[in-house]
Chain A
């Protein structure tokens, strides 16, 4: 008998607008030492499935309408609160997505780690503080925290994202669970850290012989570590099978669509770069911020961009990659003069922009626009699509009351939105549609340069493919030049002509995309490229074990 056997699980949400079948007739099994990956896009019910096993869903609106989840023969869906606490503490552990918010910032990590041991409900398993501390330090060492003795008393903010996720993993393992549920554990992490965490989870699973349920939206991530894959969409299972059969021999259209949507390979469109036609020239640009420290008097200077020189030729798509904190976003905003620059120069078609006042910048603003990462935050929630798109046109005097309606329709056609949605508010749209609105706003003034800051990072993989297509299409049709900023190297590869790699505020390497991919010169670039997850289980397994 399998360790966990879920049969016909149904979870419905009863909302004011009717019943939402979040999980509808889902069955699967996981055994000790086995990793099951549940893959799906947002709203597919993958997280709800996991949370319902641990009774972590808000009830109401959620209601478990049917099915069983036998853990060691006992039905998790029907046990009372006390029994559930026993399972949560001892047998089943969860690692959440965001290591920044899943630790309590006011308690040292050591204290948080030993909490489940010293307050254990079972008297015989309760431990003294000293024993618990020893055990916690042992675990911190095992998950790769350097100098765990000293780090035990540190607070979460003293750790980086990857280190916090390691602490979370240690916390999950402290009571020796038999089932580990990982809900997108690497989504918030940089690609090199992601590779390390995946390797760690794989290693721990093998040494401890636990069952793992690994929830992810990214097929590439699960390729190397999953034994079985469950593809979910709209609450139902679309396909289930061994990892190899899903990746190499999928029978289901949706799975194929997911696999095809993974950005892969080089840009297929020819470069439109016009040689010797410089649009943007950045010379030795520095953008420093002063961080006011609360405790001490001395202010710390953060050198977000520290001496960057680059050129963007008219017509090209320049990819800018780097990990979080590399200064890539700040560089983008500094080029647009949205962040105050400290030194150096930015010039746009030969005209210096640095040093211009707000008023003097206005005529340049319409020639350079920005697309932001989060389509939920980049639109004013109180303005309709019509108002959002009309604002730049009217403000720059590019439309009058007679032509405005026609121009807005044209824009909506350009970005693939139906005219009937003109008077709707942003919250009535999905993430992908919102990003289309944001792109519409950016191209409204017919700019020459667009800086896209992680424009597809917050989107599902199939939507991501659509938006990338749209961007390529618009660049082509409107003769745009683009700086495409992303942490996702695969995305950058399939869209850009040239690539710049940034780390710690400086440019590490730059060159033509394919040349750089084939033959990276710098150690940092090599490391970065090596860490990209590949949606090919055989390659990925050998890569993970070789890391």
Chain B
């Protein structure tokens, strides 16, 4: 029995070992990583400026100068997709993070405490569901002005509702388990039980739902921008590019295809990574 045996590995080390054997998840991670790096470096590596127009050129199909073609104003599509990625990825990750934190805490507390508090908390969720979220966001925008940070918060504030419901369901099932009762009998405080015993055991569905939320948030941003509540041209985001691409789909298909492919690729990558993470973080799956 060596010391190494006894030390073993932590949950996250374990998770990494398992993840590194899951090629699909690694592929997803690589794509996400690449997109993030490109987005960060865009101002320096983009072939053109994002508002640089060439009206004489108009919409051209992919060529040596413009790898992914140009839009009707003669703006380089590659550049616009790169700049769009900055907005879309930030919205996707930050709004989802907001939804994740609020949703998990809200759901965990409601499900764990139960009784009246649960009833009140979930009725609040129901009321928020019932509010047409467009009105909600428009109100926010009107009151606080149009601001990209507010956009993240507004989207996050809508998306956490489903997360809270999912987590609450999980927690209610977990709460009845004997290991939670064992934790009570050890005298652990409610908050410690939620933090150490409840939340880690809800990770599986939470991770999967998170990877599904990111793309839906990106599309929501596009929708808001389309209504004039989010990003405005000449700035771009993937959602916005796709929206404009749809309008000119018949004449200039590449304006839809390239942003669409980028978004789909991100979606696939996130799903692969999410599935991989879920398996990797579950100690019940084997390391081999």
Contacts and interface: CB of A to CB of B under 8 A. Distances in A.
A69 B197 CA distance: 49
B253 interface: no
A372 B178 contact: yes
Given A377-B179, A382-B200, A425-B284, A396 B185 contact: no
Contact of A427 (B11, B196, B284): B284
Contact of A423 (B6, B185, B189): B6
B8 A441 contact: no
Interface stretch (A80-88, A137-145, A363-371): A363-371
B7 interface: yes
B286 A17 contact: yes
Q: Which of A358, A361, A366, A395 has the most CB of B within 10 A?
A: A395
Contacts of A16: 286, 288
Given A358-B190, A391-B196, A423 B8 contact: yes
A422 B197 CA distance: 19
Interface string A373-411: 110011111111010000110011000000000000000
Contact of B8 (A365, A379, A384, A427): A384
A370 to B, nearest CB: 5
A381 B9 CA distance: 15
A373 B178 CA distance: 9
Nearest to A333: B181
B222 to A, nearest CB: 37
B288 A336 contact: no
Interface in B8-24: 8-9, 11
A382 B11 contact: yes
B201 A336 contact: no
B182 interface: yes
Nearest to A379: B179
Given A381-B201, A423-B6, A427-B284, A372 B181 contact: yes
A203 interface: no
Given A17-B288, A391-B186, A395-B188, A425 B179 contact: no
Contacts of B132: none
Chain B interface size range? 20 to 34
Contacts of B8: 384, 386, 422-424
Contacts of A372: 178, 181-182
B177 A377 contact: yes
Contacts of A129: none
A336 B286 CA distance: 37
A338 interface: yes
Q: Which of A336, A370, A380 has the most CB of B within 10 A?
A: A380
Contacts of B189: 358
B192 interface: yes
Contacts of B192: 395
B1 interface: yes
B184 interface: yes
A370 B288 contact: no
Contacts of B188: 391, 395
A425 B283 contact: yes
Interface string B184-212: 11111110100011001101000000000
Nearest to A380: B179
A78 to B, nearest CB: 35
A295 interface: no
Interface string B162-193: 00000000000000011101111111111010
Contacts of A395: 186-188, 192
B65 interface: no
Nearest to B177: A377
A380 B288 CA distance: 22
B5 interface: yes
A382 B288 contact: no
Contacts of B190: 358
B176 to A, nearest CB: 9
A420 B286 contact: no
Contacts of A26: none
A419 interface: yes
Given A384-B8, A425-B283, A365 B187 contact: yes
A173 B183 CA distance: 47
Contacts of A358: 189-190
Contacts of B1: 418-420
Interface in B250-288: 283-284, 286, 288
B157 to A, nearest CB: 30
B185 A380 contact: no
B6 A441 contact: no
A169 interface: no
Contacts of B184: 338
A302 interface: no
A447 to B, nearest CB: 10
Interface string A193-230: 00000000000000000000000000000000000000
Contacts of A386: 8
A445 interface: yes
Nearest to A426: B283
A4 B200 CA distance: 51
Given A419-B1, A419-B6, A422-B8, A378 B185 contact: no
A438 interface: yes
Contacts of B201: 380-382
A336 B5 CA distance: 37
Given A424-B8, A425-B283, A370 B179 contact: no
A134 interface: no
Contacts of A336: 185
B187 A396 contact: yes
B286 A362 contact: no
B185 A370 contact: yes
Contacts of A377: 177-179
A377 B178 CA distance: 5
A363 B7 CA distance: 32
11 contacts: A338-B184, A364-B187, A365-B186, A378-B181, A380-B179, A380-B196, A381-B201, A381-B284, A383-B196, A420-B5, A438-B182
A-B pairs with lowest CB-CB distance, top 7: A423-B8, A365-B187, A378-B178, A425-B283, A372-B178, A377-B178, A362-B187
